[in-house]
């Protein structure tokens, strides 16, 4: 019995030794794995950017940056060159200044890499003039609504009241103030403040991608679309007839405006309308704003307003600048005795509203306007209902 207990104790000690040994091996393995993982992460975070030289066929040395983040290697050639064997003091000075410039670039790239890893905007980017950045964005923007960005920048300058706007000054409160400023601006109405602020927010999003901001300061700023197509901005058929009979200082502006009242084309589309877009009694073109095709049947009035047909690539209406057009329209409507606002945007509103007044269905109106959704057309339905209610309210009361 004593022998049995001794054997059992022996096996128990051996088993305990084996388990302890396995635990020790596992702990050592875990420690080594964590050390290797941490080292790799540190290597990745601390991106190594080296300044290197490459000998060209001409004999000069080309400077480039060799970047390694622990996983991928990238090269950036700086277009800076050194003399391999400087012959005089001038060439030596050139090499010295060039190396200093290249080293500054290398240090800046390293700072940017460290900032990206830690979600930090570098101090030098906080001092960038946001106006300059906005202008560069506009220069590189290729779509047709580029004028909207330019207008947004113009009102941003007016709001900021300065020629230098540091990115660090573009805060959430600044963005809120800019939105409120446009809402109260006497020259802006309807959806214009919404549109301009939307462009401003789009530039800020790109600035985030370009690391000027860690996140957009306008991200949480509300930009509500105002449904504001009021009756005073609608020209009735009678008022259009009055304009048609009134002398206008520029016949092209007159014909283009009345054409827009009969087709609903935006100013940007009227301006680029060419004879190749006219097919008999219909108009087929791609809208500048949306990029969507639109087909509009031309009534007899619209066809007469086109005038004598020209070459396919010629514009139908030769118009002055946008400012010049506004001056002509203002003079014209004043001469006709109208006090309402008269712009190409009003022409589009008038086209839609008059169609609905004459009981055209909403879906057809939406198609003619080139709207992407019936939601955009519903505002004109509400305008017509309001006009009908006002007409009823103008009836004299009958005493009972």
Spacing of C-alpha 239 from chain mean position: 38
Predicted model pTM: 0.50
| Residues 197 and 223: beta-carbon distance below 8 Å | yes
Q: How confident is the prediction for the chain on average, in pLDDT? A: 81
The pLDDT tens digits of the residues spanning 187-235 come to 787 778 999 999 999 999 999 888 888 889 999 999 987 655 444 578 8
CATH code, 233-393: 1.10.443.10
Using one digit for the tens of pLDDT, what is the confidence trace for 53-91? 999 988 899 999 888 766 778 888 888 999 999 999 999
Per-residue confidence at 368, pLDDT binned at 50, 70, 90?
low
Q: Residue 272's pLDDT is what?
A: 93
Whether the Cβ atoms of residue 71 and residue 94 lie closer than 8 Å to each other: no
pLDDT at residue number 142: 84
Q: Which residues contact 53 (CB under 8 A, 6 or more apart)?
A: 61, 62, 63, 64, 82
Tens of pLDDT, residue by residue over 107-131, are 887 776 665 555 545 554 556 899 9
How far apart (Å, rounded) are the C-alpha atoms in residues 317 and 297?
Answer: 19
Residue 367: predicted pLDDT? 63
The burial class, CB within 10 Å (0-12 / 13-18 / 19+), for 154 is exposed
In contact, 272 and 315? CB cutoff 8 Å: yes
- Of the two residues 76 and 12, the one the predictor is more confident about is 76
Residue 181 burial class via C-beta count within 10 angstroms: exposed 0-12, middle 13-18, buried 19 and up: middle
Per-state percent for the chain, helix, strand, coil, to nearest 5 = 60, 10, 30
Of the pLDDT bands very low, low, confident and very high (cuts 50, 70, 90), residue 363 is: low
Per the CB < 8 A criterion, the answer to whether 377 and 301 are in contact is no
Kindly tell me if the per-residue pLDDT of 331 is higher than 70.
yes
CA-based nearest residue to 310, from 268, 265, 254, 252: 252
Is 102:80 a contact under the CB 8 Å cutoff?
A: yes
HEC states along 309-378?
Answer: CCCCCCECCCCCCHHHHHHHHHHHHHHCCCCCCCCHHHHHHHHHHHHHHCCCCHHHHHHHHCCCCHHHHH
Q: Is the pLDDT of residue 50 over 70?
A: yes
């Amino acid at each position: 019995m004593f022998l049995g207990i001794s054997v059992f104790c022996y096996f128990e000690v051996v088993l305990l030794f084996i388990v302890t040994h396995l635990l020790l091996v596992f702990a050592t393995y875990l420690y080594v794995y964590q050390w290797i993982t941490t080292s790799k992460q540190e290597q990745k975070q601390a991106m190594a950017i080296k300044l290197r030289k490459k000998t060209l066929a001409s004999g000069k040395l080309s400077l480039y940056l060799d970047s390694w983040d622990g996983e991928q290697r990238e090269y950036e050639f700086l277009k800076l060159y050194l003399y391999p064997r400087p012959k005089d003091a001038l060439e030596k000075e050139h090499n010295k200044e060039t190396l200093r410039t290249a080293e500054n670039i290398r240090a800046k790239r390293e700072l940017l890499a460290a900032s990206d890893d830690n979600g930090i905007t570098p101090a030098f980017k906080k001092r960038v003039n946001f106006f300059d950045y906005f202008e560069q964005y506009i220069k590189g923007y290729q779509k047709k609504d580029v004028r909207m960005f330019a207008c947004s920048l113009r009102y941003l300058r007016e709001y900021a009241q300065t020629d230098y706007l540091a990115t660090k000054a573009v805060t959430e409160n600044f963005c809120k103030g800019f939105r409120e400023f446009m809402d109260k601006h006497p020259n802006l109405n309807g959806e214009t403040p919404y549109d301009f602020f939307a462009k401003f927010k789009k530039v800020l999003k790109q600035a985030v991608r370009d690391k000027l901001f860690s996140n957009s300061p306008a991200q949480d700023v509300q930009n509500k679309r105002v449904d504001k197509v009021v009756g005073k901005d609608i020209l009735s058929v009678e008022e259009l007839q009055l304009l048609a009979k009134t002398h206008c200082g520029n016949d092209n502006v007159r014909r283009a405006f009345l054409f827009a009242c009969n087709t609903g084309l935006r100013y940007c589309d009227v301006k680029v309308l060419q004879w190749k877009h006219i097919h008999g009694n219909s108009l087929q073109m791609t809208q500048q704003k949306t990029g969507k095709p639109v087909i509009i049947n031309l009534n007899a009035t619209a066809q007469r307003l086109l005038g004598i047909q020209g070459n396919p690539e010629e514009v139908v209406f030769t118009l002055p600048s946008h400012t010049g057009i506004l001056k002509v329209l203002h003079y014209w409507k004043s001469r006709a005795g109208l006090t309402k606002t008269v712009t190409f945007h009003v022409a589009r509103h008038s086209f839609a509203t008059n169609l609905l007044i004459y009981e055209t269905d909403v879906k057809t109106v939406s198609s003619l306007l080139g709207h992407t959704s019936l939601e955009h057309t519903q505002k004109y339905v509400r305008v017509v209902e309001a006009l009908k209610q006002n007409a009823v309210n103008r009836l004299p009361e009958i005493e009972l």
